[in-house]
Amino acid sequence: MVAKKPRIVIIGAGMAGLTAANKLHTATASTDMFELYVVEGGSRIGGRINTSDFGGDRIEMGATWIHGILDSPIHKIAQQTHSLHSDQPWECMDADSATPTTIAEGGFLLPPSIVHPITNLFNTLMDYAQAKRTLIPHKPTTATLSIGSFLRHGLDAYWDSLKEQEEVEGFGNWSRRLLEEAIFAMHENTQRTYTSAGDLSTLDYKAESEYRMFGGEEITIAKGYLSVIESLASVLPDGCIQLGRKVTRIEWQAENSGSGNGFCSSRPVKLHFCDGSDMCADHVIITVSLGVLKAAIRDDHSGSGSEFSPNPSQNQQSVEEQMGGSYSQNPLFHNSWSLLQWP
Ligand SMILES: Cc1cc2nc3c(=O)[nH]c(=O)nc-3n(C[C@H](O)[C@H](O)[C@H](O)COP(=O)(O)OP(=O)(O)OC[C@H]3O[C@@H](n4cnc5c(N)ncnc54)[C@H](O)[C@@H]3O)c2cc1C
């Protein structure tokens, strides 16, 4: 009798899922040790990476930047696939101005003497939040501190620390305080775009310092971020990636009780898809975003059904905590919910 090969199913064909698939396949291709599938709910690969054409230019609808090229695996792939150069115009946003111009509503050009102190304050506070500095002055002590409340607390402390400030003139209805408030808010809005957080008060303070940047320049990819995704997918065998396969439920059965109860005869995980079909697996790697995961776990409490059975309740707090932020970290389920690992 030929022994069944273990089957690994990766849920999600975004950067995380395809990187995992690429690594697994390239590390073991010659030995043909297991069956590998990537099931993707959408109709394309890439997830939150989606390069598109707009009026003849190449634009990014999702991820745009390589945030630091030193030791970045994305940069390495982009170099290998010659994706960093292109004849076609692309949305190139490299190189920020070292001396940006700041203009207040009404067309008032703001001098560095007004802009710099608030900009420095904001950058210093973010350095503390990102653990680039360790001694945190004026840090509020609430248990669930958000980035938003930390920043506002810092601005209030800054204002409290000032004795008398000279009022500004020549800026219409703008007072110094209003200008400083507006400059601070401008930086908060920029920070929101970095993190994709709708509101910085939903961004967990503790999680902020877990984010690690690569060193070096931040650049865009001339042939599009999707070229990196396509490169990762290109080595996978035909049929490995299955599109339009939205997983609606994942069942795990520790002790296999055979096929009599409708469960898989020899594989402990059963995936159910939106079209009513199912697939059995030995190992499942879930790369859906934490937002999707959180919605699935919350749905269970509302009684409308969860994606998971049994629900990984012991890890729900981790999900909730992580989702205080909006990072795209990926939980890894490996055969048992008790092995749910968090970055
Ligand atoms: C507008 C925007 C701009 C960004 N800019 C940058 C940037 O400049 N630089 C940068 O480094 N990062 C950026 N990011 C973040 C980056 O895009 C993500 O970190 C990264 O693409 C996440 O990849 P992932 O594989 O973890 O998740 P995703 O890309 O979300 O992939 C998860 C996949 O799982 C699929 N899926 C979900 N539920 C199911 C289900 N039930 N069944 C089957 N499949 C399912 C989804 O369709 C998706 O394809 C940006 C993100 C956005 C949205």
pLDDT at 266 over 60: yes
Average pLDDT score, the chain: 83
pLDDT of residue 262: 58
pLDDT of residue 253: 78
Alpha-carbon distance 343 to 166, whole Å? 48
**Nearest to 11, CA basis, from 308, 298, 310, 262:** 308
The residue among 279 and 332 whose pLDDT is bigger is: 279
Most confident of 129-133, 168-172, 301-305, 320-324: 168-172
Q: Residue 15: CB within 6 Å of ligand 1?
A: yes
Kindly state the tokens that stand for 80: 């290998």
pTM of the model: 0.76
- Calculate how far, in angstroms, residue 146's C-alpha sits from the geometric centre of ligand 1: 23
Q: Residue 330: CB within 6 Å of ligand 1?
A: yes
What CATH code would you report for 7-50+226-341? 3.50.50.60
Task: Specify the residue with its C-alpha closest to ligand 1, atom 41.
Answer: 247
129-151 pLDDT per residue, tens: 988 877 665 566 666 799 999 99
pLDDT of residue 30: 73
pLDDT at 244 over 60: yes
Alpha-carbon distance 229 to 21, whole Å? 11
Q: Where are the domains of the chain?
A: 7-50+226-341, 65-96+215-220, 103-208
Q: What is the mean pLDDT of residues 225-234?
A: 96
How far are the Cα atoms of 10, 63, 244, 271, 308 from residue 329, in angstroms, in the given order?
Answer: 15, 14, 23, 22, 19
- Which residue from 74, 220, 328 has its CB within 8 A of the most atoms of ligand 1, so it is best to mutate? 328
Q: Residue 247: CB within 6 Å of ligand 1?
A: yes
| Confidence bin at 315 (pLDDT 50/70/90) | low
Q: Which of 86-100, 105-119, 165-179, 220-234 has the lowest mean pLDDT?
A: 86-100
Q: Which of 34-38, 209-213, 254-258, 319-323 has the lowest mean pLDDT?
A: 319-323
Q: Residue 16: CB within 6 Å of ligand 1?
A: yes
Q: What is the mean pLDDT of residues 223-242?
A: 96
Q: What is the mean pLDDT of residues 64-87?
A: 91
Alpha-carbon distance 338 to 198, whole Å? 32
174-227 pLDDT per residue, tens: 999 999 999 999 999 999 988 878 999 999 998 888 888 888 888 999 999 999
Q: Residue 241: CB within 6 Å of ligand 1?
A: no
